[in-house]
Amino acid sequence: MAAAAAVAALRPHLSLLSAGGGATPISSLQALAFVSPPLPHYRRRCVLRSNASSSPSPPPSPEKEKEAEAEAVPTAESCVNLGLELFSKGRVRDALEQFDNALELNPNPVEAQAALYNKACCHAFREESNKAADCLRTALRDYNLKFGTILNDPDLAPFRASPEFKELQEEALRGGEDIGSGFRRDLKLISEVQAPFRGVRRFFYVALTAAAGISTFFTIPRLILAVQGGDGAPDLLETAGNAAINIGGIVVLVALYFWENKKEEQQITQISRNETLSRLPVRLSTSRIIELVQLRDITRPVILAGSKASVTRAMQRAERYRTELLKRGVLLIPVIFGASQKAQSKPRGFGSSRSVASVSSVGDDFEKRTESIAAKSRLKAEVRFKADIVSPEQWESWIRDQQESEGVTPGEDVYIILRLDGRVRRSGRGMPNWNDILQELPRLENLLSKLER
């Protein structure tokens, strides 16, 4: 007898920009809405064949049933599902074969995005950064993959520490036909929120430049007549002065326009760097591993990067001011250069089932807000004075990029102080002067701290 059985919907391994297990609110000014749309649901039929004997045979396990169905009628959906199942068991090579098969079976755009993305995760697990970058580049360009997914996914942590990721990120910042403009468009939206009058200023620069150009267009014939002289000729000094003012105004306005564009590019780069920083993991004193984004509105992380001796001395000096620093929400994060050893990544089973998003009601929203407040309260209780980094290679890569952008020699001792909203407050060479930091940072209950959130 044939019976219809509901099976799990096909979804790519796409991590949302949520923080840890609980729902943590992220400021719209700082977080990028990189959430890929869920894949549509599919239903498949299972045919259960009755046994001729009186004793019923045990039903096949879902895993064997999935493999048998993929072998019997291979589809892009079944190949992706089987590949996820194989990867969760550590069979990375077999999972790669299934994702390749899915790409050869005329997949729809959503299935192709899932196959390419999960294939990139497999290559990242095998430390094949070039192949992972190629898969992600294709998914970004052709199948509307959100770049924030790459920033957020822990399975791509080895890839994010590679030079290929930096190259891919720079391409995404520039935008274009080779990689798409989705990432750059999202960053520009955040940039416009942080600098709301930049567009207005540029509009006036263009309008005033056009007005000065039109005025110059009519002034030049008058200047020629003034130079030639004769009856009815305009005054030479007055006409030359008007032309000089118009031409000078055009030069100044064009320079201001290009200066605004340069500032926008610098801001977009900094936003991207801040977003990368927010996804770096740390281990709290309770051994709980979280991302920096989860500490927003709670702490002011202070990153101490340098040699072991320098960082140790700075930590010891900070202990003298521990009480006052804690009142200001300071969380020390030591990063020792050269101490990172590339540990072999473990599969995290990105084929595991995830809950399907449904239309939220008012009660659901209230419940989510309540859970968010409770999760933040628990997290605040776990935060102490120091947190340890989890992925040293990612931290060192980010600090090197920050040093290059600030004109500091890579590998030099530096400190970086973050705001409560997660942005970089200031940075400097060497180790910080804790007395100066106490004078600079207001206490958490202070009005200035509330405005900083």
Quick count: other Cβ atoms within 10 Å of Cβ 263?
13
End of a domain among 240, 258, 277? 277
Residue 244 sits in the same domain as residue 106: no
pLDDT, position 21: 39
Residue 271 sits in the same domain as residue 288: no
Residue 436 sits in the same domain as residue 299: yes
Q: What is the CATH number of the domain that holds 430?
A: 3.40.30.10
Residue 72 sits in the same domain as residue 129: yes
173 located within any domain = no
Residue 269 sits in the same domain as residue 289: no
End of a domain among 159, 187, 222? 159
Range of the domain at 436: 281-346+359-452
Rounded to the nearest 5°, which phi and psi values hold at 388? -100, 145
End of a domain among 260, 277, 294? 277
Residue 147 sits in the same domain as residue 117: yes
Q: Which residues of the chain have pLDDT under 70?
A: 1-72, 176-182, 339-383
174 located within any domain = no
Rounded to the nearest 5°, which phi and psi values hold at 58? -65, 140
pLDDT, position 189: 79
130 located within any domain = yes
Q: What is the pLDDT of residues 174-228, one digit of tens each?
A: 776 556 566 777 777 778 777 888 889 999 999 999 999 999 999 998 888 888 8
Residues 113 and 143 sit within 8 Å (Cβ to Cβ): yes
183 located within any domain = no
Q: What is the pLDDT of residues 230-261, one digit of tens each?
A: 777 888 888 899 999 999 999 999 999 999 99
pLDDT, position 228: 84
185 located within any domain = no
With residue 315 as reference, give the H or E element that holds it: helix 308-319
pLDDT, position 188: 78
Residue 257 sits in the same domain as residue 285: no
Residues 428 and 399 sit within 8 Å (Cβ to Cβ): no
DSSP-derived secondary structure for 226-260: HHH--TTPPPHHHHHHHHHHHHHHHHHHHHHHHHH
144 located within any domain = yes
Distance CA 331, CA 333 (A): 7
188 located within any domain = no
Residue 273 sits in the same domain as residue 290: no
Residue 28 sits in the same domain as residue 136: yes
Residue 292 sits in the same domain as residue 430: yes
Q: Which residues contact 52 (CB under 8 A, 6 or more apart)?
A: none
Q: What is the pLDDT of residues 5-26, one digit of tens each?
A: 333 333 344 333 333 333 333 3
Query: Parallel, antiparallel, or unpaired for β 330-336 and 300-306?
Result: parallel
351 located within any domain = no
- Average pLDDT of the chain, as a whole number: 76
pLDDT, position 363: 38
Distance CA 4, CA 47 (A): 8
Q: What is the CATH number of the domain that holds 130?
A: 1.25.40.10
pLDDT, position 368: 47
Residue 307 sits in the same domain as residue 203: no
Number of domains in the chain: 3
Residue 236 sits in the same domain as residue 209: yes
